[in-house]
Structure 1
Amino acid sequence: MSWQPELDELRAREAMAKAMGGPDKVARQHQGGRLTVRERIDAMLDPHSFHEVGAIAGRASYGPDGELKEFTPSNCVMGRGSVEGRPVVIVGDDFTVRGGSADATIRDKPIMAERMAAELRLPIIRIIEGSGGGGSVKTIETTGRANLPGGVGGTWLYHHTGDNLSRVPVVALGLGSVAGLGAARLAASHFSVMTRETSAMFVAGPPVVNAMGNNLSKSELGGWEIQCKAGAVDHAVDSEEEAFAAARRFLSYLPSSVFELPKRLPSEDEATRREEGWLSVIPRDIRKPYRARALLEGLMDRGSVFEMGRYFGRSIITALARLNGLPVAVIMGDPMFYAGSWTADACAKVIRFVDLADTFHLPVVHLMDCPGFMIGLEAEKAATIRWGVRAMAAINQCSVPWCTVVLRNAFGVAGAIHQPANRYTIRYAWPSARWGSLPLEGGIEAAYRADIDAAEDPAAKLVEIEARLQKLRSPLRTAEAFWAEEIIDPRETRRLLCEFATLAERTLEPGQRARGLRP
């Protein structure tokens, strides 16, 4: 006698689980332009690589004879798979079952997914659609009591949601309406993506918010433009397929955990490549900006630049890239926004990105053009200096190799934090570099007011003083005193950066940082 009847029952239960919320709910999902959770998992992972854990977990009812009568699967689908051959953990919300809320989930499934990622040292991909929190208003009736957030003794999901940031790469894809704990799980990641037309994220959705006297749609309250500009979400795409592609690309730059090192890939781009345009890319007129992203693309391996957080803290560009095949983290000033001044948002962006680089052992390249912290009333209201010194602390606390190239401006306190202050780093400057405690422009009239007022021709005197000081401010004068290490030909920059990557790779060490990474 075999155990085939039990296997037949197992297969029947698996088929029920794969039916999710039923044909009508699946059809509604598709009508909304969204894939089901199982379709998403198949699209995210390498073909046929998904190994589901807890496939038949759910809520069942039985007849008088003890036979299965009804079955509703858990709306959390999780397990292991692979992305471009690398093993990963994946966990997804099934919106076709109670809208992805906790009423239909089993708490231990998402907890086990997070624990699996931590202890097997695997990246985790969260596919989020729904609230996924402690329940809905109906939960009070179904349980007969109100839920105290955090429970007794804490909640493991909350612990792992934050703790995994210091252990393994965490990717979160918001592919529908995401609220409550679902929003927290989306934000508590290294890289998050929303779809422009079909997703929204909020602490509480329109029904709750509008009950307070508002009249907002999902997109008005938490659409991609709101969340990407605020920095709560990193990236927005037009389709779910693009979201999966972005997740795959992000993971390609990182090791599987902090206990490994990023892998160098073969590069077809010449490490010694020179471009004549780099010699004139920085305008002599300091009031004129330049296209920072075009320069960034040229200096890194061709096609390797992967920008993160483009719409947040826009005076700073943060991107993953490769130099001669080695993954690096790049910070670059963007003079198109506030002339590259560091706003409070830009400082927050730098902190998170430097922490990411330090956690996953990515050497940092800083292509610097910063005239200082943003000034003015709004900057003061945003506590820019507080965020600035937090950025200073993050940069000084990081331990990965660091190379700075001063392209143009380096002024004030913000100028001082272009590299860690407590250890050796490599630094170069272009001939276009300008630096000091503060820019001369606007400061000469205050510093030399007596001389200017006493002159027969005050305007001519101002021009004379400015010309004299401009000569003294030459970066060559600074290098003459060894107050700056090297002034380089801009056309040599890629070669020197690739050399930096080779030197940096020798010093990288796997392991977990003493200080955990914050969301």
Structure 2
Amino acid sequence: MTWRPEIDELTYRRRLAARMGGEDKVGRHKAAGKLTVRERIDEIADPGSFREVGGLSGSGRYDSNGRLVDLIPSNLVMGRAQVGGRPVVLVGDDFTVRGGANDGAVGDKLIHAEKMARDLRLPMIRLVDGTGGGGSVRNIEIKGHTLIPTMKVWEHVVENMSVVPVVSLALGSVAGMGAARVAASHYSVMVRETSQLFNEGPSVVARVGQNLTKNELGGSQIHTRNGVVDDEVATEQEAFERARRFLSYLPGSVHELPPRIEPADDPARRDEWLLSAIPRDSRATYKIRPIVQALVDADSFFEIGMNWGRAIVTGMARLDGWPVAVIASDPSFHGGGWDSASAEKFTRFVDMAQAFHLPVVNLVDIAGFQIGLEAERAGTMRYGVRALAAVYQTTVPWCSVILRRAYGVAAAGHQHMGRFNFRYAWPSANWGSLPIEGGLEVAYKAEIEGADDPVQKHAEIEQRVRSLTSPFRSAEAFVIEDIIDPRDTRTLLCEFANLAAPLRETGISRFGIRP
């Protein structure tokens, strides 16, 4: 006697599970331009590496003799896999079964997956396509009673953000807790026109008089501009590639250090055009991204959140092969003045760098917080203070390069002033409590108004004060540690990365991620 009958049943059950929601539902799903959950797993995971956990779970139907007749599989597929040669936990919603709602997921598979990522110290990748919450209204009839909303998984979701890298890809219409799972990530992506994210879908919203399509209500053009989701892409395959690249800069968990790759770019490379990168006219803008790309290893800059908080540019890069977090002011957006969204973006990014032990490179050109009635109504100062707190809670190595302006409270957060940091300035740099243009009228109001010729007096005072604002004057007083040739910046940043590498420490940060 052998166990062949049971093995045959096992094979049969796996075959039933592989059908997902059935031929018709799978066909409709693919007709909408979407991959099935198992196709998605095959696309993102290294070939042959996915090991499913809980693949037999579902709702079985039996005949009078107790033999299995049919099986509706769980609509949550999970397991371990390799992505880019590194182990991860993969979780995917199956929209073809109950629209991805939690009442089709069977038991605590989602909780099990989050625990697996935490306890094995593996990055979590979520392929989200559905609600993933407390279930549809149909669940009332199935259970015979209603449920108080609970989120048993949420303690694990929150804990994991301080322990392992979490990536969420919104690959369809995502609502409720599914939407919350996307937002509670270190990196999130939506597929343009295919993905939507909302608190409630169009049919519910229509009851309050707003008749909108799914894309009008919650398309990527909304959520990648308000910061709920980091980036948008054109295809699912592009989303998978961005997830792989994001994880390549990070450790498997906070108990490891970000991995170095073999450097392929000369640390001593000097780009001549950097000499003229900053205009002499202080009111002129310039493009910051080419400067970032010139300073870091070639083709290594991975920008995150391009379309929101646009007064700063954030992303990961490498310096002499070492992963670093890069923050750069962007004067082409409202002159580089921080609005509330820019401050929030800064806070979230600094928190992530702190959590995963990434040294920070900060390229500074800050005119201050945005001013005016709208800025005050938006609570800009509250968001700004939160950003300053994030800086002063960091312990990771930090290097600031002041490219041009550093003014006001916003600029005071260009680094933690209570500990040693690397800091350089370009000859184009200038700084102070207020820009001279805006401060003279206040500081010299009486002198200007009492003059026979106020315009001439204003010009005389401005010329006198400007003669004292040269960065070389500040260097004489050791206000700035060093003024450098812009062409030498890359070499100095690579030195920073190499000196910072042995200073990085593993473990959970004292300050958790604030999603």
Pair in the same fold by TM > 0.5: yes
CA RMSD of aligned residues (A): 1.0
Matches within 5 A, 1:84-123: 84-123=84-123
- 2:224 pairs with 1:224: no
Match of 1:499 among 495, 499, 509: 495
Q: TM-score, normalised by structure 1?
A: 0.98
- 2:333 pairs with 1:334: no
Query: Does the 8 Å CA contact 1:76/1:94 hold for their aligned counterparts?
Result: yes
Give the match for residue 9 of structure 2.
9
Deviation at 1:462, TM superposition (A): 2.2
Matches within 5 A, 1:164-313: 164-313=160-309
Which deviations, in whole Å up to 9, do the C-alpha atoms of 1:324-372 show, x marking residues without a partner? Answer: 1000001110001111111111111011000000000000000001010
Give the match for residue 315 of structure 1.
311
Distance 1:17 1:504 in 2: 50
Match of 1:354 among 347, 350, 353: 350
**Which one-letter code corresponds to 1:80 in the other structure?**
R
SS of residue in 1 equivalent to 2:409: helix
Distance 2:147 2:334 in 1: 47
Query: Does the 8 Å CA contact 2:393/2:511 hold for their aligned counterparts?
Result: no
Which deviations, in whole Å up to 9, do the C-alpha atoms of 1:53-102 show, x marking residues without a partner? Answer: 11110001111111112210000000000011101100000000111011
Query: Does the 8 Å CA contact 2:58/2:72 hold for their aligned counterparts?
Result: yes
> Where does the alignment leave 5 or more consecutive residues of structure 2 unmatched?
none
**Which one-letter code corresponds to 2:466 in the other structure?**
Q
Distance 2:112 2:127 in 1: 15
Deviation at 1:516, TM superposition (A): 1.8
Distance 1:295 1:476 in 2: 23
- 2:401 pairs with 1:401: no
SS of residue in 2 equivalent to 1:351: helix
Deviation at 1:456, TM superposition (A): 4.3
**Which one-letter code corresponds to 2:308 in the other structure?**
F
**Which one-letter code corresponds to 1:259 in the other structure?**
H
Give the match for residue 27 of structure 1.
27
SS of residue in 1 equivalent to 2:41: helix
Give the match for residue 143 of structure 2.
143
Give the match for residue 77 of structure 1.
77
Give the match for residue 36 of structure 1.
36
- 2:63 pairs with 1:67: no
SS of residue in 1 equivalent to 2:190: strand
Give the match for residue 130 of structure 1.
130
**Which one-letter code corresponds to 1:404 in the other structure?**
S
Which deviations, in whole Å up to 9, do the C-alpha atoms of 1:378-422 show, x marking residues without a partner? Answer: 111111111111111110001100000000110111111100122
Mean CA deviation greater in 98-107 or 504-513: 98-107
Distance 2:441 2:119 in 1: 63
Deviation at 1:461, TM superposition (A): 2.6
**Which one-letter code corresponds to 1:39 in the other structure?**
E
Matches within 5 A, 1:361-372: 361-372=357-368
SS of residue in 2 equivalent to 1:130: coil
Deviation at 1:136, TM superposition (A): 1.1
Query: Does the 8 Å CA contact 2:125/2:167 hold for their aligned counterparts?
Result: yes
Match of 1:424 among 388, 408, 420: 420
**Which one-letter code corresponds to 1:209 in the other structure?**
V
**Which one-letter code corresponds to 2:11 in the other structure?**
R
Distance 2:104 2:405 in 1: 56
Which deviations, in whole Å up to 9, do the C-alpha atoms of 1:482-518 show, x marking residues without a partner? Answer: 1111111111100000000001001011111122212
SS of residue in 1 equivalent to 2:245: helix
Q: TM-score, normalised by structure 2?
A: 0.99
Distance 1:45 1:401 in 2: 33
Deviation at 1:454, TM superposition (A): 4.2
Identity of aligned residues (%): 57
**How many positions carry a matched residue from both structures?**
515
Give the match for residue 512 of structure 1.
508
Which deviations, in whole Å up to 9, do the C-alpha atoms of 1:176-196 show, x marking residues without a partner? Answer: 000000000000000000000
SS of residue in 2 equivalent to 1:374: coil
Distance 1:231 1:454 in 2: 49
Distance 1:449 1:482 in 2: 30
Give the match for residue 320 of structure 2.
324
**Which one-letter code corresponds to 2:473 in the other structure?**
R
Give the match for residue 436 of structure 1.
432
**Which one-letter code corresponds to 2:402 in the other structure?**
V
Query: Does the 8 Å CA contact 2:166/2:187 hold for their aligned counterparts?
Result: yes
Distance 1:107 1:245 in 2: 31
Query: Does the 8 Å CA contact 1:162/1:518 hold for their aligned counterparts?
Result: no
Query: Does the 8 Å CA contact 1:60/1:68 hold for their aligned counterparts?
Result: yes
Query: Does the 8 Å CA contact 2:63/2:69 hold for their aligned counterparts?
Result: yes
Give the match for residue 488 of structure 1.
484
> Where does the alignment leave 5 or more consecutive residues of structure 1 unmatched?
none
Distance 1:421 1:389 in 2: 15
Distance 1:348 1:253 in 2: 22
Distance 2:252 2:309 in 1: 28
- 2:42 pairs with 1:46: no
Which deviations, in whole Å up to 9, do the C-alpha atoms of 1:431-453 show, x marking residues without a partner? Answer: 11110010010322333233334
Deviation at 1:287, TM superposition (A): 1.0
Mean CA deviation greater in 434-443 or 178-187: 434-443
